[in-house]
Structure 1
């Protein structure tokens, strides 16, 4: 019986040893599997987002990549950079962002909190970059615009003023003036201009001023009496602003030499075409030479002009010999020719 008990005890010992070996083997296999798991499912590289407290942006939308330094794998970095955080302020202006809002927007992407670290201040101050539109730029562009209306005129712009200038976004800036504008006769200028940046209308300006055109014009060199026949010594040239007055001014002394002034003009006063009439070649009541022609026959006699006569125009003359009234054409030398 004692022998038999020993055998049973030996059998039990073998079973316990086998079980222990099996557990050890299982533990080894589990540890082997655990140590090889990173090969099957690697933990993503850590992501670090460092948001600045102050930042400048250029686009109309605030992107995370403009206000933060992002350390992440390229795939995640590209997506994080394009996260929109709201509209940008107006050019040259500033706005505040909540740090909590930035954090919530990033977390909305669904990344594991253990894999991402966000360093963000409580408040972020964002300013949009800008560019200035100098008044000198507007004035130059206006001059080019006006040259389309006044291509042959030597005009000048006075009292220039531009209203509504503000900082504008960065980009290709241009001005578009109102094509419906036409210069006024009095030279006063008021025209609208649109400000465009990269093909987007940003503003509307109002430009005002006064246009002038300086030209030498004929003025009285001395007091001119009504009915006086003008000689070159009676008038002179003086620079004056003639914008809008082109039909009303005379720019050459030759235009009035030999003309008769129809009203009294003071010294230095500008003269106009309406104030002159041609001097007659024959004055009313003057005794003139009257030539009557028929075929090859020519008769010359004297006559009295019944009215002022001008070269190339008909005039009535009384024949001193016969007393009859005849009509003839005035020649340049003051003769009246009658053709039968």
Structure 2
């Protein structure tokens, strides 16, 4: 768009035949271009949003989307890692009490556990075409993707592995 404006201004200057007119028009176009770049339309201006609970949510509860709402931030001093969309908090579990009308910090949320401490899981080891499975007991609760320690219930050996979406724990060779 800037190239079109410059060409148009240059062609207008040729028609007028004066160098002063070209400079005047070029400076006017440059000023308008600067103003249009600095002024945002209401559609472009993004108002910051924050997610707040509509009721008190206690630690360990799964947050449902009907328990929270997104509101416009009116405090310009609000900073930190607060949730800005309902999708960021829906399905998460809170680790502290969330009071109604207060901003939800993302540090107060965690993913649901895929495996729980002491409950039976399947341990899987893959090495090329070889696959070994065994029964195990996690030594800690963990979410999908977490690296945890698990005890092989048959041998008593403790190994480390990654929690998968299906609830199995995949271990790798040392």
TM range (shorter): 0.5 to 0.7
Task: Kindly indicate whether residue 147 of structure 2 is the aligned counterpart of residue 279 of structure 1.
Answer: no
2:53 to 193, 202, 220: 220
Q: Which residue of 2 aligns with 1:336?
A: 169
Equivalent in 102, 105, 110 of residue 269 of structure 1:
102
What runs of 5+ residues in structure 1 fail to find an aligned partner?
Answer: 1-143, 155-213
Cα RMSD for the two superposed structures: 2.5
Distance 2:73 2:62 in 1: 24
In structure 2, the partner of 1:109 is none
Q: Secondary structure at the match of 1:238?
A: strand
Whichever structure has more strand as a proportion of its residues is: 1
Which structure has the higher relative contact order (CA within 8 Å, separation 6+)?
Answer: 2
Query: Cα distance, 1:220 vs. partner?
Result: 0.6
Structure 2 segments unaligned to the other structure (5+ residues)? 1-34
Map 1:148-227 → 2, pairs under 5 A: 154=46, 215-227=48-60
Q: How far apart are 1:246 and its partner, in Å?
A: 4.4
Q: Distance in 2 between matches of 1:230 and 1:332?
A: 20
Closer/same/farther in 2, CA of residues 242 and 255 from structure 1, 3 Å limit: farther
Indicate how the Cα distance of structure 1 residues 337 and 265 shifts in structure 2: closer, same or farther if over 3 A, else same. Answer: same
- Per-residue Cα deviation, 1:172-199 (whole angstroms, up to 9, x for no partner): xxxxxxxxxxxxxxxxxxxxxxxxxxxx
Deviation at 1:298, TM superposition (A): 1.3
Structure exhibiting the larger radius of gyration computed from Cα positions: 1
- How many residues end up aligned between the 2 structures? 133
How is 1:1-340 mapped onto 2 (pairs within 5 angstroms)? 154=46, 215-340=48-173
TM-score (structure 2 length as normaliser) = 0.64
Post-superposition offset of 1:271: 0.9
